[in-house]
Amino acid sequence: MSRFADLRYRGATAFQRRVNPLLRRLPFQTVLETRGRVSGLPRPTPVGGRRVGDCFWLVSEFGERAQYVRNIKADPRVRVRIRGRWHEGTAHLLPDDDAVARLRRLPRFNGLAVRALGTDLLTVRVDLAG
């Protein structure tokens, strides 16, 4: 990873550490809940994405460096809060998907932020349970 990309990563994660606790409390903020790979505790993360049928799509701006992606690799069972309602599902990391093209189909504001800050985009699909 280049020095510039590392600085972007550090700056963005420092900002997110302060803002995410506030965002995840908002009732209609979309939240992805994984299980901590060491602690086993629920780890809620505000995300931007879109539900399409029985799937929820999002793009991680830091790929496999994102803590929630690392948690998904350890246990793909997740929950997603969409419009105030929780849905259980199974997350799939899709490194072969064109993440930039995927962002064009997701909410615009989030897509702009992910493209601006992202250093290693990774598509994540959550198959939602009935």
* Residue 113: per-residue pLDDT: 66
* Residue 12: per-residue pLDDT: 64
DSSP secondary structure of the chain: --HHHHHHHHHHHHHHHHHHHHHTTSTTS-EEEEE-TTT--EEEEE--EEEETTEEEEEETTGGGSHHHHHHHH--EEEEEETTEEEEEEEEEETTS-HHHHHTTS-HHHHHHHHHH-SS-EEEEEEE--
Which residue range forms the structural domain that includes residue 100? 3-128
Mean pLDDT of 81-86: 94
Nearest to 37 by CA among 74, 12, 7: 74
* Residue 9: per-residue pLDDT: 67
Pull the structure tokens for residue 47. Answer: 């995300």
* Residue 1: per-residue pLDDT: 59
> What is the domain count for the chain?
1
Q: What is the CA radius of gyration of the chain?
A: 14
pLDDT at 95 over 90: yes
User: Which tops the pLDDT comparison, 93 or 25?
Assistant: 93
Rounded CA separation 124/3 (Å): 26
Residue-wise pLDDT tens digits, 68-83? 999 999 999 999 999 9
Domain CATH code at residue 53: 2.30.110.10
> Where residue 7 falls among pLDDT bands split at 50, 70, 90?
confident
